[in-house]
Structure 1
């Protein structure tokens, strides 16, 4: 049984850093006593060619793909490629974006890594304020 578990891998595919998916995957893995499930991060995936290359290299058994991709066409492509190759996949971000758009009527920006950009801008402002207070 341990041999079967040791071959299990969760692949995180993201068009940004993959940090969001990593946090959720590790929270889910915390519910299991086994440390034998591997997590592999594939970050900054930005094209159908990237996705095709990844899918073609995966061992089809004991694989689960979790993805955070903001562009709808790439999300759909990954979903279709996964199904075509009998790989279970889970879109972590897409349904949230779609439902927030639905209830708010606001179009999403669909920019990968936008939260990191916001964080950088925030910290630059804090540094500027600290500098101003200091001098």
Structure 2
């Protein structure tokens, strides 16, 4: 009986407050917190995000909110006085506080023998990389779902090709945020077979595949969301199987790298594409020596 109760309790989620304090946008801190919490099963954070904290008065309000919801405090503060204020406030509240980037920054500083920058939000500066990402995002939107001529697609770093619902668009958007100019062309039975991509010289063409069973499920969910009928070949098991088999054969015949997205998140698919893209760039650079 006691064992059963213990087992039942072990399945309950553990909630805790996590306070994320940043003098910039808070994106870095939020991503780090999510990555760390994901390592724990059954743990659900209640996030309190304080972005653009750059004055004593703002820090006072932050500490007041932290006091009202005790938990863990993570920060990426650069300003020494604000850090001291937060650390002292957490000490008084007897609450753990962690400078999330300190171990990495310290190790890199020792390795490089370089002084640290005290400029707030340095990673978000309006530099060349920033404008490249904006340009890549514009390119992805303008060349989504087969838009653009073959000549225009030559301006891409990578072109994704696959049947409908293989996460082509979200993957292109994710790649754009990494500064990669990505376009996508859907394979549509009796309409688009991807042949126009064969002659592309600059971009890497990548084929995306997915298991037929998973694809049917995704498409049915899509149809349900639109309150439409399931009677078309779009969701027919055999038709979908035939569609995916033909797509994979076309990719292999053309020598394109193929990525199966069945059990991959958009981030994982994008990471795999970036790896292939980097390998290709390395090979091209070696050939030019």
Q: What TM-score do the two structures reach when normalised by structure 2?
A: 0.38
Q: Distance in 1 between matches of 2:68 and 2:96?
A: 9
> Does the alignment pair 1:121 with 2:121?
no
Residue by residue, what CA displacement relative to the aligned partner does 1:93-118 show, whole Å, maximum 9, x if unpaired?
24443444444342222111111115
Secondary structure of the corresponding residue to residue 37 of structure 1: strand
CA RMSD, Structure 1 to Structure 2 (Å): 2.9
Higher RCO, Cα 8 Å, sep 6+: 1
Q: Equivalent of 2:62, from 54, 61, 66?
A: 54
Unaligned runs of 5+ in 2: 1-8, 140-154, 156-289
Q: Of 41, 44, 48, which residue of structure 2 is paired with 1:33?
A: 41
Q: CA deviation at 1:123?
A: 4.0
Counterpart position of 2:112: 104
TM-score (norm 1): 0.75
Structure 1 residue 22 and structure 2 residue 21: aligned? no
In the alignment, which residue of structure 1 is the partner of 2:77?
69
Query: Measured at CA, do residues 18 and 40 of structure 1 come closer, stay the same or move farther in structure 2, by a change above 3 Å?
Result: same
- Contact kept, 8 Å, 1:10 with 1:38, in 2: the verdict is yes
Quote the Cα distance in structure 1 between the aligned partners of 2:37 and 2:132. 37
Gaps of 5+ in 1: none
Local SS of the residue matching 2:116: coil
CA gap 1:104/1:35 in 2 versus in 1, 3 angstroms: closer
SS at match of 1:80: helix
Q: 1:23 to 1:106 in 2, by over 3 A?
A: same
Please say if residues 72 and 94 of structure 1, whose CA atoms lie closer than 8 Å, have aligned partners that are also in contact.
no
Tell me if the contact between 2:19 and 2:66 (Cα under 8 Å) persists in the aligned partners.
no
Distance change >3 Å, CA 104–CA 123, structure 1 → 2: closer
Paired residues of 1:60 and 1:86 also in contact (CA < 8 A): no
